[in-house]
Homo-oligomer: A and B are copies of this chain.
Amino acid sequence: MDTPGWRISGGSPLRDRLPRVATVARVIPETSKVTTFVLDAAIKARPGQFLMVWLPGVNEKPFSIVCPDPLTITVANVGNFTAALHRLVPGERLWYRGALGRGFRLSGRDILLVAGGYGAAPLHFLALAARDSGMAVRVALGARAQEDLLFPGRFAGLGCRVWTCTEDGSFGESGLVTDLLQSLADQHRPGSVYACGPQAMLQAVAGICEARGIPYQVSMERYMRCGMGLCGSCAVAGRRVCRDGPVFSRLPPGS
């Protein structure tokens, strides 16, 4: 018979915090550079949390959770690791640690999501949760050109009202997603704004919302090593993006 409590005392079963394996069930091309990977796994997670995805022999990097069940990530091909991910075909495997980090806190009756590039990834999970709590969800999507717009159909399918804009004017409004935010914020005054995208975009979002007194939350990116709040690699203005974030309810000063 096991010692009562050996699982605790022994610690051995706590391989849980080590990477877990999952098989790629489906690969969905989203844009020319972005692909979605649906895994044969399901986890408990809150919108905004992320995974550390490991490809043995390659590297381990952070990716937002797009959907917890089936576990899904959406990846932009921007370098070595993401290229290796893009070579995965259904039946092949990847490993993940997580869900990690602090996610979004849902509040307000009608909310506005602002996504630049693959920033749409964590916001998709947020939209899923917001829909389940019966919130009204507006989404502002921005990209360079029409072919780079991520998830317009998915958000619409969830019952969100979607506005789009492209820098080259090839689809929707012409300009930056922050211009879109500005006009939407003034027209509708959302209860809360949730944003994810490049640092410059987040800075603009913060400025717009702070000027109008609209509460906002942003999901940030920083280079990560441990992903567990220990090594300090991801620190920005004294906050650890991997553990105190990646979602912050205001942009850390000086970030």
List A residues at the B interface (Cβ < 8 Å): 5, 8-9, 11, 14, 17
B9–A17 contact, CB under 8 A?
yes
Tell me, in angstroms, the Cα distance from A14 to B11 when the chains sit together. 11
Which residues on the B side are within 8 Å of A5 (C-beta)? 14
Chain B residues with CB below 8 A from A9, complex form: 11, 14, 17
The answer for the CA separation of A8 and B8 in the assembled complex, in Å, is 5
Report the bound CA distance from A5 to B9 in whole Å.
12
How far, in Å, is A222 (CB) from chain B's closest CB? 20
Residue numbers in B under 8 Å from A17 (CB-CB): 9
Smallest CB separation, A30 vs chain B (Å): 33
**Could you name 8 residue pairs across A and B whose Cβ atoms are closer than 8 Å?**
A5-B14, A8-B8, A8-B11, A8-B14, A9-B11, A9-B14, A9-B17, A11-B11
Whole-angstrom distance from the CB of A2 to the nearest CB of chain B?
12
* A125 vs B17: C-alpha distance when bound (angstroms): 44
Contacts of A11 in B (CB 8 A): 8-9, 11
A238 CB to closest chain B CB, in angstroms? 16
Q: Report chain B residues within 8 Å CB of A8.
A: 8, 11, 14
| Closest partner residue, chain B, to A229 (CB atom) | B3
Cβ-closest chain B residue relative to A8: B8
Q: Which residues of B contact A14 (CB under 8 A)?
A: 5, 8-9
How far does the alpha carbon of A8 sit from the alpha carbon of B17 in the complex, in Å?
Answer: 12
Q: What CA separation (Å) do A171 and B5 show in the bound complex?
A: 48
